[in-house]
C-alpha cells in the first residue's frame, strides 16, 4: 500500500515537474544563440565559485551560513535519493549496503540538517524582524518577500522533519533492540531528551516524519521553478556558463563585425561562413532579442541584491538597480513567452522589455563599471545586457542622451569625440620647437 501511494505521489510530482520544465524549454527556444566553449576553464570556475562558494565569503558571517546551506543541500540530496529508492522498491535504508560510506553520508546529513536549520532560522529572522537595505528596492514587491519567506519556511520544515525522522528512527531501533543503520551524531544526542513513547508510537512518528519530509521535497521541487529559489537548481550550471572574458571587455556584435570586415575586405568576407540566424534587430528591445544565457541568468538570480548594493548609480540615488534588470527579463518572459509559443514568434502584446519594464533613464545611468558583475555570487553579467539594450536604442532608434549624441556627431565628423576638426588637432603644439633628427 505504501508503495502504491508513494508511486502515485511520485508520478504526480514528475508530471507537474515535466510540464514546468517543458514550458521553460519553450521559453529558451524563443531566445538567441550564445556560444559556449572552454569547458575546462568553466569547470575550474564552477569548482571555485559554486562549490567553493568563494564570492559568498566576501561577507563572512552571512556568507558562511549560506555556504553551510549550500553544502548541506548537496549532502542531504544523497539521503533524499535513498528515500525515493526505498519508496519505490519498498525497501528500508537500502544504501546501507555501502557500509562506512553510508555512515559518513548519513552522519554528514544529520549534522548538516541542524546547521542548515539554524542558518535558515537566522535568514528568516533577518527578513521578518530586521530592515536589511539589500532586500529593499523598487523591484522588491510584497510578493517577492512572501515568496522568499515561504521558501525559507519550507527549507526549515524539511530540516526539522529530517531531524525528527532520524531521532524517532534512532529511538525506535534502540527500543526494538535492532541494528541502527547509519551514524547519527546530532540525533543520538537529542534522542534522550524526547518524552517516553511506546515502540509502536516511535515507529508511527518515524513514518509521519518520513512522509512529511518526502512530501515537502516533492512540493518544494515543483514550487522552485516559479520561485526565486529556482537558484537551488540553476546557480551551479549558471556559474559553469559564466562569462570568461575580462569584465571590462565589450563583446562585439557579430552582425556589425561582418559588415565592417566586408567593407575592409569584400572578397575574404564573402568566402567566410555567415551565421544561419538572420539579424532582425540590432541590440535588445524585448525578450526574443536576449540570448538564452541572459534568460538563464534571470532564472538563476537569487535576488540577493549584492549587485545593487555596490552599484554606484543606485547608491547615488539613480533609478538603476542591476538586480531589477535581471528580474525584469524573467517577468517579461513569463508575460510574453506563452503568447509567442501559442501564436507564433510575431506575437505582440504592444509592450516590450525596454520602456515597459526597463526605462531609458535606468539604462543610461549605468557607468559600465562592472561592480555588479564582480560582486554577483553566481557570476551574472549585467552590463552586457544593459549595453545590448543601449545598442538597440542607438542603432535602431537613434535615441541617446544629448551629451552622447554630441560625441557620436564629433566622431562622425572629426574622427574623435571632441569638437575640433582633424586639421586643428595639432594646434596645441604649434609654438613648440620640435627638432627632427
Ligand atoms: S556596471 Fe552599471 S549596473 Fe553594474 S554596478 Fe556599475 S553602474 Fe551599476
Ligand atoms: S544578479 Fe547576482 S548579485 Fe544581483 S541579485 Fe541576482 S544573484 Fe544577487
Task: Annotate 304-358 with DSSP letters as a single string.
Answer: --HHHHH-HHHHTT-S--HHHHHHHHHHHHHHHHHHHHHH-TT---S--IIIIIB
Q: For residue 392, what are the CA distances in angstroms to 30, 75, 340, 411?
A: 18, 45, 21, 19
pLDDT attached to residue 132? 85
Taking only the tens place, the pLDDT of each residue in 114-151 is 999 999 999 999 999 988 888 888 899 888 899 999 99
Of the listed ranges 128-132, 208-212, 324-328, 369-373, the one predicted with least confidence:
128-132
Whose atoms come closest to the Cα of 306: which ligand?
2
Give the span between the Cα atoms of 419 and 409, in whole angstroms. Answer: 9
Q: Is pLDDT of 13 > 60?
A: yes
CA 340 / ligand 1 centre spacing (Å):
31
Q: For residue 346, what are the CA distances in angstroms to 326, 354, 374, 397?
A: 24, 17, 37, 20
Q: Kindly give the number of the ligand 2 atom that is closest to the alpha carbon of 231.
A: 7
pLDDT attached to residue 269? 54
DSSP alpha helix (H) spans, 251-321: 254-264, 266-271, 292-300, 306-310, 312-315
pLDDT attached to residue 436? 74
User: Per-residue confidence at 160, pLDDT binned at 50, 70, 90?
Assistant: very high
Q: Which residues pair with 354 in a beta bridge?
A: 358
Phi, psi of 291 (to 5 degrees): -80, 165
Percentage with pLDDT > 70 across the chain: 97
Q: Is pLDDT of 428 > 90?
A: no
Q: Kindly give the number of the ligand 1 atom that is closest to the alpha carbon of 314.
A: 8
Taking only the tens place, the pLDDT of each residue in 346-369 is 899 999 999 999 999 999 999 999
As to burial, measured by CB atoms within 10 angstroms (0-12 exposed, 13-18 middle, 19+ buried), residue 300 is buried
CA 204 / ligand 1 centre spacing (Å):
55
The predicted model gives 54-81 an average pLDDT of: 88
CA 52 / ligand 1 centre spacing (Å):
26
More confident residue, 414 or 160: 160
Q: Which are the contacts of 21, defined by CB distance < 8 A and separation ≥ 6?
A: 225
Residue length, the chain? Answer: 437
C-alpha cell at 333: 518572459
Q: Kindly give the number of the ligand 1 atom that is closest to the alpha carbon of 322.
A: 3
Q: Is pLDDT of 77 > 70?
A: yes
pLDDT attached to residue 225? 92
pLDDT attached to residue 273? 53
Closest C-alpha to 286, from 235, 234, 332: 332
> Which strand (E) or helix (H) includes residue 220?
helix 199-223
Q: Is 247 in the pocket of ligand 1 (CB under 6 A)?
A: no
Give the span between the Cα atoms of 249 and 303, in whole angstroms. Answer: 25
The predicted model gives 296-318 an average pLDDT of: 95
Give the span between the Cα atoms of 101 and 379, in whole angstroms. Answer: 34
Phi, psi of 313 (to 5 degrees): -65, -45
Average pLDDT, the chain: 91
Q: Is 312 in the pocket of ligand 1 (CB under 6 A)?
A: yes
**Residue with the nearest Cα to atom 6 of ligand 2?**
301
User: Averaging pLDDT over each range in 73-77, 289-293, 394-398, which range is the top one?
Assistant: 289-293
The predicted model gives 52-59 an average pLDDT of: 86
pLDDT attached to residue 255? 78
C-alpha cell at 65: 551560513
CB 60 within 8 A of CB 49: no
Percentage with pLDDT > 90 across the chain: 66
pLDDT attached to residue 426? 84
As to burial, measured by CB atoms within 10 angstroms (0-12 exposed, 13-18 middle, 19+ buried), residue 26 is middle
pLDDT attached to residue 157? 95
CA 404 / ligand 2 centre spacing (Å):
29
Closest C-alpha to 39, from 51, 47, 30: 47
pLDDT attached to residue 275? 53
pLDDT attached to residue 270? 54
Q: Give the single-character DSSP code of 428.
A: G
pLDDT attached to residue 276? 54
pLDDT attached to residue 350? 93
C-alpha cell at 250: 565589450
Burial call 322-356: b when 16+ CB within 10 Å, e when fewer = bbbbbbbbbebbeebbeebeeeeeeeeeeebbbee
Q: Is 382 in the pocket of ligand 1 (CB under 6 A)?
A: yes
Of the listed ranges 8-22, 65-79, 307-321, the one predicted with least confidence:
65-79
User: Per-residue confidence at 268, pLDDT binned at 50, 70, 90?
Assistant: low
**Residue with the nearest Cα to atom 8 of ligand 2?**
304
* pTM for the whole structure: 0.87
Q: Is pLDDT of 341 > 80?
A: yes
Amino acid at each position: 500500500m505504501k508503495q502504491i501511494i508513494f508511486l502515485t505521489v511520485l508520478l504526480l510530482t514528475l508530471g507537474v515537474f515535466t510540464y514546468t520544465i517543458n514550458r521553460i524549454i519553450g521559453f529558451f527556444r524563443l531566445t538567441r544563440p550564445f556560444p559556449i566553449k572552454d569547458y575546462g576553464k568553466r569547470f575550474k570556475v564552477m569548482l571555485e565559485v559554486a562549490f567553493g562558494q568563494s564570492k559568498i565569503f566576501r561577507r563572512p558571517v552571512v556568507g558562511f551560513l549560506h555556504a553551510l546551506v549550500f553544502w548541506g543541500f548537496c549532502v542531504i540530496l544523497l539521503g533524499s535519493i535513498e528515500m525515493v529508492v526505498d519508496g519505490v522498491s519498498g525497501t528500508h535504508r537500502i544504501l546501507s549496503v555501502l557500509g562506512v560510506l553510508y555512515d559518513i553520508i548519513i552522519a554528514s546529513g544529520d549534522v548538516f540538517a541542524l546547521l542548515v536549520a539554524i542558518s535558515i532560522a537566522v535568514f528568516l529572522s533577518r527578513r521578518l524582524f530586521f530592515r536589511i537595505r539589500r532586500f529593499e528596492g523598487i523591484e522588491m514587491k510584497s510578493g517577492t518577500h512572501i515568496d522568499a519567506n515561504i521558501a525559507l519556511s519550507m527549507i526549515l520544515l524539511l530540516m526539522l522533519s529530517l531531524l525528527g525522522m532520524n531521532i524517532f528512527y534512532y529511538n525506535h531501533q534502540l527500543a526494538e533492540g535492532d541494528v541502527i543503520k547509519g551514524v547519527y551524531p546530532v540525533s543520538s544526542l537529542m534522542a534522550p531528551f524526547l518524552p517516553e513513547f511506546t515502540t509502536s508510537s516511535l515507529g508511527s512518528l518515524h513514518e509521519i516524519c518520513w512522509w512529511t519530509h518526502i512530501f515537502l521535497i516533492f512540493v518544494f521541487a515543483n514550487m522552485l521553478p516559479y520561485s526565486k529559489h529556482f537558484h537551488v537548481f540553476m546557480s551551479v550550471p549558471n556559474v559553469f556558463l559564466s562569462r570568461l572574458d575580462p569584465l571590462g571587455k565589450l563583446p562585439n556584435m557579430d552582425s556589425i563585425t561582418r559588415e565592417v570586415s566586408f567593407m575592409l575586405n569584400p572578397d575574404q568576407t564573402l568566402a567566410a561562413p555567415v551565421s544561419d540566424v538572420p539579424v532582425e534587430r540590432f541590440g535588445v528591445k524585448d525578450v526574443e532579442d536576449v540570448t538564452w544565457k541572459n534568460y538563464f541568468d534571470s532564472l538563476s538570480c537569487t535576488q540577493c541584491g549584492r549587485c545593487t548594493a555596490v552599484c554606484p548609480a543606485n547608491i547615488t540615488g539613480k533609478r538603476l538597480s542591476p538586480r531589477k534588470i535581471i528580474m525584469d527579463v524573467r517577468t517579461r518572459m513569463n508575460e510574453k513567452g506563452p503568447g509567442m509559443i501559442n501564436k507564433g514568434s510575431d506575437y505582440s502584446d504592444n509592450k516590450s522589455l525596454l520602456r515597459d519594464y526597463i526605462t531609458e533613464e535606468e539604462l543610461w545611468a549605468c557607468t559600465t563599471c562592472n561592480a555588479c558583475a564582480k560582486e554577483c555570487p553566481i557570476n551574472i553579467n549585467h552590463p552586457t545586457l544593459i549595453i545590448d539594450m543601449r545598442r538597440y536604442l542607438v542603432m535602431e532608434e537613434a535615441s541617446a542622451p544629448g551629451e552622447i549624441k554630441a560625441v557620436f556627431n564629433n566622431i562622425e565628423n572629426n574622427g574623435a569625440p571632441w569638437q575640433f576638426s582633424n586639421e586643428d588637432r595639432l594646434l596645441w603644439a604649434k609654438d613648440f620647437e620640435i627638432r627632427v633628427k
